[in-house]
Amino acid sequence: MKNLALHWKIIIGMVLGVVYGLLASHFGLIEFTNDWIKPWGKIFISLLKLIAVPLVLASLIKGISSLSDVSKLSRIGTKTICIYLISTVIAVSFGLILVNVVKPGSTFSPEKRLELKEQYASDANAKILSANKVEKSGPLQFVVDMVPENIISATSSNKNMLQVIFFAILFGVSMVMLPKENTKYVKGFFDGINDVILKIVDIIMLSAPYGVFALLGGLVVDFGGSLDLFQALGVYSLTVIVGLLMMILLVYPLFLKIFTKLKYIDFFKGIAPAQMLAFSTSSSAATLPVTMERCEEHLGVSKDVSSFVLPLGATINMDGTSLYQAVAAVFIAQAFGYDLDLSQQLTIVLTATLASIGAAAVPGAGMVMLVIVLSSIGIDPEGIALIFAVDRILDMLRTVVNVTGDATVAAVVAASEGELKEVNPKDLMS
Ligand code: ASP
């Protein structure tokens, strides 16, 4: 067990977690699981979240302050945002093409529609309420929200990651503009914090196999050990899954092939532990520390690039979420018997892209933004009740794609800057 690569240990943890969950549901160990197993999963996620803000702050400040001039930052920034947009639009388009070809909604019986609508009406309303808050704000609210008025309160919640990024960039850029002599202690401080946090990531990762065991065990018990509803929504779920697989098996390998020298198999080996955490936590934000560590230490992405590209990606680049939103929006429309015309489909491309940028990197966030996508094409947002039952599992899968997309873009940007170094094959999997 000791010499096993981390991702194998995590896979074993996941499998045992699912097996445990099935057995616990079967033997009625619900209370035991809630009291004694689930808390470990929660602790594991808290540990990951605990270091997200200090990590982003320290690594971005370290990364930017090491630049010799600010023009490199704006170059990396422009490239990053362009590639993020391109990959998101590809994802939404794939989703749209698939859902239009497969038409999962047209085979959906009206009885099932009523049953699910009634069963999930209150959950759906809660999401609609959150979405209404987002929708009421003006078009520039996104930019307004990015500028914090108080750095302490900005760093007090993981939800304000863009504000933290904004402050860190401002801080780092100011350091570059000052003579080195004036900032040497501040720089030493943030460099040191960065090293310490990375060590903490290593320590937390030692507990990852146990953490994912508890998370998945708890989840299966929550599902009641039954996958009945998954069957009812099988074709819809499969459409989303095929789209997500196309991103992982087609689009990202193509990006890597065209723009980098990194072999996809090596990329996959290096990033696998982050993908598994994304799956188990359903949160790109919680996975961020590990994504950064894997990209830097195991894929050879320079710290300058990863410290900028990955925190930004965790918040604004969600290919999996945008693909799912496109499929879900059209599925709900089909289930309600609407035929969407080309302009409505194009509206989906635009709103799903913007919605995935706006979605928080936490479980279930994509669904809140789906309400906005539905409203933009004139479909009753209560339709989300139809897909609630399978959302958690699809959330886990789309988060894997979100994280893989961020890592791919980090590798592409690093390669374009000549900052993707070759790694020792031993380091890929350790
Ligand atoms: N859970 C996703 C993430 O954190 C967001 C979503 O699609 O709900 O990346």
Domain locations along the chain: 6-428
Q: How is residue 387 annotated by DSSP?
A: G
Q: Ligand 1: which residue has its CA nearest to atom 6? A: 366
Ligand 1 atom nearest residue 361's Cα: 4
Asked if the model's pLDDT at residue 158 lies above 80, the reply is no
Ligand 1 atom nearest residue 359's Cα: 5
Query: pLDDT value at position 295?
Result: 95
Percent over 90 (pLDDT), the chain = 48
Asked if the model's pLDDT at residue 427 lies above 80, the reply is no
Q: Please count the other Cβ atoms lying within 10 Å of the Cβ belonging to residue 48.
A: 25
pLDDT digit string (tens) for 328-386? 999 998 888 888 888 888 888 888 888 888 777 778 888 888 888 888 888 888 888 88
User: Minimal CA–CA distance to 128: which of 392, 321, 375?
Assistant: 375
Question: What is the CA(340)–ligand 1 centre distance, in A?
Answer: 26
Question: What is the CA(314)–ligand 1 centre distance, in A?
Answer: 9
Ligand 1 atom nearest residue 283's Cα: 4
pLDDT digit string (tens) for 52-107? 888 888 888 888 887 777 788 889 989 999 999 999 999 999 999 999 999 888 77
CATH number for region 6-428:
1.10.3860
Ligand 1 atom nearest residue 365's Cα: 8
Amino acid (one-letter) located at 17: G
Q: With contact defined as beta carbons under 8 Å apart, do 283 and 363 qualify?
A: yes
Question: What is the CA(362)–ligand 1 centre distance, in A?
Answer: 5
Question: What is the CA(248)–ligand 1 centre distance, in A?
Answer: 16
Residue 134, sorted as left (phi over 0), alpha (psi -120 to 50) or beta, turns out to be: alpha
pLDDT digit string (tens) for 170-208? 999 999 899 989 999 999 999 899 889 888 988 998 899
Q: Ligand 1: which residue has its CA nearest to atom 7? A: 366
pLDDT digit string (tens) for 348-363? 888 888 888 877 777 8
Place 19 in a pLDDT band, splitting at 50, 70 and 90. Answer: very high
Mean pLDDT value across residues 281-300: 93
Pocket perturbation via mutation, ligand 1, pick of 48, 316, 370, 399 by most ligand atoms within 8 A of CB:
399
Placement of tokens 């320079």 in the chain: 302
Question: What is the CA(240)–ligand 1 centre distance, in A?
Answer: 14
pLDDT digit string (tens) for 100-148? 999 888 777 777 767 767 767 777 777 777 776 666 666 677 778 889 9
Pocket perturbation via mutation, ligand 1, pick of 92, 277, 402 by most ligand atoms within 8 A of CB:
402
Q: Ligand 1: which residue has its CA nearest to atom 1? A: 363
Three-state SS string over 170-207 comes to HHHHHHHHCCHHHHHHHHHHHHHHHHHHHHHHHHHHHC
Lookup: tokens for 177: 């503009």
Query: pLDDT value at position 128?
Result: 76
Asked if the model's pLDDT at residue 164 lies above 60, the reply is yes
Ligand 1 atom nearest residue 364's Cα: 8
Amino acid (one-letter) located at 399: T
Q: Is 365 exposed, middle or buried (0-12, 13-18, 19+ CB in 10 A)?
A: buried
Amino acid (one-letter) located at 423: V
Assign 301 to helix, strand or coil. strand
Pocket perturbation via mutation, ligand 1, pick of 130, 283, 369, 404 by most ligand atoms within 8 A of CB:
283
Distance between CA atoms of 342 and 327, rounded to whole angstroms?
Answer: 15
Least confident of 15-19, 68-72, 237-241, 267-271: 68-72
Distance between CA atoms of 106 and 109, rounded to whole angstroms?
Answer: 8
Distance between CA atoms of 274 and 292, rounded to whole angstroms?
Answer: 9
Give ligand 1 pocket residues (Cβ under 6 A): 282-284, 318, 321, 359, 361-366, 395, 398-399, 402
What are φ and ψ of residue 2, in 5° steps?
-60, -40
Ligand 1 atom nearest residue 362's Cα: 4
Pocket perturbation via mutation, ligand 1, pick of 134, 158, 318 by most ligand atoms within 8 A of CB:
318
pTM of the model: 0.85
Ligand 1 atom nearest residue 368's Cα: 8
Pocket perturbation via mutation, ligand 1, pick of 45, 88, 395 by most ligand atoms within 8 A of CB:
395
CA angle 370, 373, 377 (to 5 degrees): 140
What is the DSSP annotation of 67-108? SSSHHHHHHHHHHHHHHHHHHHHHHHHHHHHHHHHH-GGGG-
Question: What is the CA(320)–ligand 1 centre distance, in A?
Answer: 8
- How far, in Å, are 79, 155, 230, 403 from residue 313 at the CA level? 12, 18, 30, 8
Ligand 1 atom nearest residue 320's Cα: 7
